[in-house]
Structure 1
Amino acid sequence: MTRSRHLSPAIAFAVAAAGIGLFSIMDAFMKSLTLALGVYNALLWRTGVSAVFGGVAWAAGGGGWPSRRATWLHLLRGIVAAVMALLFFWGLARVPMAQAIALAYIAPLLALLLGALVLGERVGMRVVAASIMALAGVGVILLGQARMDLGPQALAGALAILASAVLYAVNLIVARLQSLAARPGEIAFFQAAIVTLLLALAAPFLGAIPPAGEWGKITIAALLATASLFLLGWAYAHGEAGYLATTEYSSFLYAAVLGWLVFGERVALTTLAGAGIIIAACLYGARRRDIAQEALGQAA
C-alpha cells in the first residue's frame, strides 16, 4: 500500500482518532440496543444494515469477486468476528463501558504472542514482560470490580470481554493476512455480510423484528461502524502504523465520558489504574507490534 509523502502526519493522526471516536460512539449505541433487544438481535440487525452500506461502497469501488485465498480468509475472519462481537456486546451490557474497553486493550499484546505461534514472528523479553504487566492491569480492574460489588452478572460480563479480547487478537492475525489478499472495501463488505449470514442461521429461533423506535439507533450504529472502518483505512494508508496505533487508546476516554453521560456509569479508580497499567504495557512492548499495528486499521 502506497502512503502519501506530502500529507502531514498530523492529518492522518486526526483522521484515525476520528475513526476511533466514531467506533466508540457506536459501542454506546450497541450497548443501548443490546439492553433493549438482546445481544443477538442487536448484532444481527446492525451487521445486516452495515452489510448493505458496505456493499454499496464496495460496488461503487469496482466490486469484483475475491480470490480463493481471500474468500477463505473472509470466511475465517467472519466466523471469528461473529463470536467475538457476541461475547463483547453481551459483556458490554453488564459492565461499565470504560471497564470493558480497558479489559479489551490486552488484545494487541495477545496478537503479538499469537503472531509468534502462527506467523513465526520473533517475540523478545520486552513483549513477555509487557504481557505480564498487562495481566497485572487486568487483575487490578477485576479486583476493583469485586470491591464495587457489581454482582455475578458483572463478573460474567468481564470474563466474556476477556474471551472476546482473545478472539480479537486472533482477528488481528487474520486481518494481517487478509490485508495482503484483498482491498479494504472488499474486506469491509464481506466481513459484515458473512457475520450477518452466520447470525441469520439462528434467526428462526432467536430472531425478532425490532420495534420501530429502535431502527434509528440500528441505522446510526451501522453508519458509524462503516464510517469508522473507512476513516481508519484511509488513515492507515496515509500514515505510519506505529504512529497511528496510539489513537486506539483514546477509546478509553470516549467510553468513560459516554458511559457517564448516557448510562450514568461511574469510572472506578481501579479501572483508571488498571487501564493505565495495560496501556503502559502495550506502549512498552511497542517495538514489536508490527502485526497488531498494521492489522488494527482493518479490525474495526
Structure 2
Amino acid sequence: MIRFPSGAGVKLALLGPAMAAIAGIGLLSIMDAVIKHASASHSTPQIAAMRYVCGTLIAFAVFRALRTPWPSRATLRPHMWRSVVVAATALSFFYALAVLPLAVVLALSFTAPIFIALFAALLLGERPDRTIIFALVLGFAGVLVVLWHEVEGAGAGNAWGLAAALTSAVTYALSMVALKSRAAHDPLPTIVLLQNLLPAFIIVPLAVPSWTAPAPSELGTFLIIGALGTGGHLLMASAYKRADASRLGVFEYTAFIWAVGIGFFAFAEVPSMSTLAGAALIVGGALMASRRPSSAPEPDVEIGP
C-alpha cells in the first residue's frame, strides 16, 4: 500500500490502480456530459476557465484538509509545463464537445490510449508487452464497431471539431504520461491542485473577450463540474502513481461504458446491439490488460523543458 504524505492515506490507497482509473474516468465522463450541457450557453474558453477556477477552489480545500506541504520551486517547474498541455487538452476537447455529437467526440478521444502507449515508450522507456498491445487493438476495435457510422457521418461536417477532438486525444495522452513522471515524486493533493490552478491562469485571460455572466443556477453547475474534475483527477493520479501508463491507457475505453450508463439512466437511451457488441470488446480489452501483474518503477526521466 502506498504511504501518502501528511495522513493522505484516505480510501484512495485501498483501490487498485485499475479500479481507481475506471472510477476516475467515470467521474470525468459525467463531467463531460455536464460540460456539453453548459456549452449551449457559454463559450468554450469561459467553460474551461470556470471549470478550472471551481476545480482550484475544491482542490485547495482538499490540499489544506490533508495538510499537504507547500510545493517547492523545483516541483512547480514541471507542473507549469504540464499545465500548458492540460489547458490545450481542455480547450480543444470542450470545443469538440460543443460542435460535435458526444458519440463522435468519444470515438476520436479513444485514440488517446494508443498515444499514451507511444509516448510512454518514447519518453518513459516503458515497453508494453504483446498482451497490452493486443488489448489496445481489441478495445479500439470495439470503439469502431459502435461508432463507425457516427464518425463517418460527421467526417464532412465540422472539420475544425474533428481536428480539435484529435488534438485533444494527443495532448491528453501527453499529459497522462507527464502525470506518470510526476506521480512517483509528488503528493496527490499537490498534483491535483496544480493541475487546476496553473491551467486556470492560462485559460482565464482567454475567456475574457467572450465572457457572459452566468446565472446563479449556472454557478452551481460550474461547481459540480469542478468537483467532478477534481475527484476524477485525484483518482487518476492515484492510479498512475502505482501502474505503468501504457497499462492504464487501455482503461480509457471504459469511458464509453460510462457514457452508455449515463445515457440510459439520465436520458432513457437504450443501447443497440452494435453498442453492446462493441462494449463487450472494450471490456474484454480492459480485463485482458488488468489480468497481468505490473510493476511500476519510478521513472528516472523528467518530461518537459
Q: TM-score range by the shorter chain?
A: 0.7 to 0.9
Distance 1:158 1:117, change over 3 A: same
Aligned letter for 1:225?
G
Number of residue pairs the alignment of both structures matches: 286
Query: Aligned pair in 2 of structure 1 residues 115, 193: CA closer, same or farther (>3 Å)?
Result: same
Q: CA contact under 8 A between 1:39 and 1:89: conserved in structure 2?
A: yes
Q: State the one-letter code of the partner of 2:178.
A: V
Distance 1:252 1:271, change over 3 A: same
- The answer to whether residue 26 in structure 2 is matched with residue 42 in structure 1 is no
Single out whichever of 70-79 and 86-95 deviates more from structure 2.
Answer: 86-95
Cα–Cα, structure 1 residues 128 and 112, in superposed 2: closer, same or farther, change >3 Å?
A: same
Deviations 1:135-178 (A, max 9, x none): 5555555631156x457446654443232122121111100111
> Structure 1: 5+ residue runs without aligned partners?
295-300
Give the 5 Å matches for 1:31-110. 31-110=36-115
Deviations 1:218-249 (A, max 9, x none): 11111222233345556788xx758x958755
Within the candidate set 5, 12, 24, 2:29 is matched to 24
Aligned to 1:227: 231
8 A contact 2:63–2:193 mirrored in 1: yes
| Residue 196 to residue 267, structure 1, CA distance change in 2 (3 Å) | farther
Instruction: Classify 1:230/1:176 alpha carbon distance in 2 versus 1 (closer, same or farther; 3 Å).
Output: closer
Cα offset, 1:112, TM superposition? 1.7
What's the C-alpha RMSD, in Å, of the aligned pairs?
4.0
Q: Distance in 2 between matches of 1:232 and 1:23?
A: 10
- Structure 1 length as normaliser, TM-score? 0.75
Counterpart-to-counterpart distance in 2, 1:289 and 1:103 = 28
Task: Give 1:119 deviation, angstroms.
Answer: 1.9
Rounded Cα–Cα distance in structure 1 between residues aligned with 2:99 and 2:212: 22
In the other structure, the counterpart of 1:174 is 178
> Gaps spanning 5+ residues in structure 2: where?
5-9, 300-305
Q: Distance in 2 between the 1:45 and 1:53 partners?
A: 12
Pairing 1:72-221 to 2, within 5 Å after superposition: 72-129=77-134, 136=141, 139-140=144-145, 143-145=148-150, 149=153, 152-153=156-157, 156-221=160-225
Contact 1:74 1:190 in 2 (8 A): yes
Aligned to 1:257: 261
Q: Percent identity?
A: 31
Q: 1:128 to 1:220 in 2, by over 3 A?
A: closer
Give CA-to-partner distance per residue, 1:17-41, whole Å, 9 cap, x none.
5544433322221111122212211
Structure 1 match to 2:302: none
What's the counterpart of residue 298 of structure 1?
Answer: none
> Hey, what's the Cα distance between the residues in 2 that align with 1:272 and 1:157?
27
Are 2:15 and 1:12 aligned? yes
Give the CA deviation at 1:134: 5.4
Distance in 2 of aligned mates of 1:250 and 1:121: 22
Letter in 1 for 2:170: V
Once structures 1 and 2 are overlaid, which stretch shifts more, 70-79 or 245-254?
Answer: 245-254
TM-score by length of 2: 0.74
**8 A contact 2:180–2:240 mirrored in 1:** no
Task: Report SS of the residue matched to 1:210.
Answer: coil
Q: Is the 2:179–2:237 contact (alpha carbons within 8 Å) kept by the matching residues of 1?
A: no
Contact residue 138 and residue 282 of structure 2 kept, 8 A: yes
Cα gap change, 1:30/1:145 in structure 2, threshold over 3 Å: closer, same or farther? same
* Residues in 2 aligned to 1:157 and 1:229: alpha-carbon distance in whole angstroms: 25
Partner SS state of residue 208, structure 1: coil
